[in-house]
Structure 1
Amino acid sequence: MPSRAPRICGCGHRIAPGVACPCEERRARERKARHDQRRPTARQRGYTAEWERESKAFLAANPACRRCGVPAALVDHIQPHKGNQRLFWNRSNWQPLCRPCHSGAKQAQERREETKTHDC
């Protein structure tokens, strides 16, 4: 089976397929750090002790991941609340998810939806 050829990074290094160049990794770390500096803390976004209690109670009543059926680890907001407290606390907007489903598929879906709204 043929393999893909190496690529040349913008910095001039030859990079194997499927591998990030160190300069790309550095730029990604810097970009994420800039984003994190502007982002409010979890507590500022509403994830307080009250949220912890309510989400644990919700998971006790809804123990399976809505996407794959394995034990759920966290409560996800179906529609991102973006600071809207009414939407944040609306239980019909909550769903139980396992960490892989939340961190992978759900986050990718939200990025796609956010890109669509910016294209208009």
Structure 2
Amino acid sequence: MPMKPPRICGCGFAIAANTECPCEARKSKERKARADRKRPSSSKRGYDSTWQKDRAIYLKSNPTCRRCGEPATVVDHIIPHKGNQKLFKDRSNWQPLCTNCHSSAKQKAERKLVTR
């Protein structure tokens, strides 16, 4: 199978295919840090001690990931609540996921929704 040729980064350096240039990595890190500074704390977003208790109860009664069947570690909101507390607390909007499914497949699906 042929290999992809290197690409030229905006800074002028040749970078191997499918890799990130150090200047791109630095810009990405700075962009994420700016976004995190603007983001409210987790407790202000609703993930407080009440959520932790409700989450533990839910995972005890729903121990397996809805996508792959592995042990569930995350209570995911099926419809992203985006600050809507009624939707946030609605248990019919919750689903048990393992960390891998939540961090990969679910997040990719949500990014596609945002870019449309």
TM over 0.5: yes
- Deviation above 4 Å: which 4+ runs of structure 1? none
Distance 2:62 2:79 in 1: 18
- 1:9 is matched with 9
Deviations 1:50-97 (A, max 9, x none): 100000000000000011110000100001111111101000000000
- Mark the runs of 5 or more structure 2 residues left unpaired by the alignment: none
- 1:47 is matched with 47
Distance 1:13 1:115 in 2: 29
SS of corresponding position for 2:45: coil
- 1:24 is matched with 24
- Mark the runs of 5 or more structure 1 residues left unpaired by the alignment: none
Residue 2 of structure 1 deviates from its aligned partner by 1.2
| 2:80 paired with 1:80 | yes
Figure out how many residues of one structure are paired with residues of the other and give that number: 116
TM-score computed with the length of structure 2 as normaliser? 0.98
Matches within 5 A, 1:34-113: 34-113=34-113
Percent of aligned pairs with the same amino acid: 58
TM-score computed with the length of structure 1 as normaliser? 0.94
Q: Please tell me the root mean square deviation across aligned C-alpha atoms, in Å.
A: 0.6
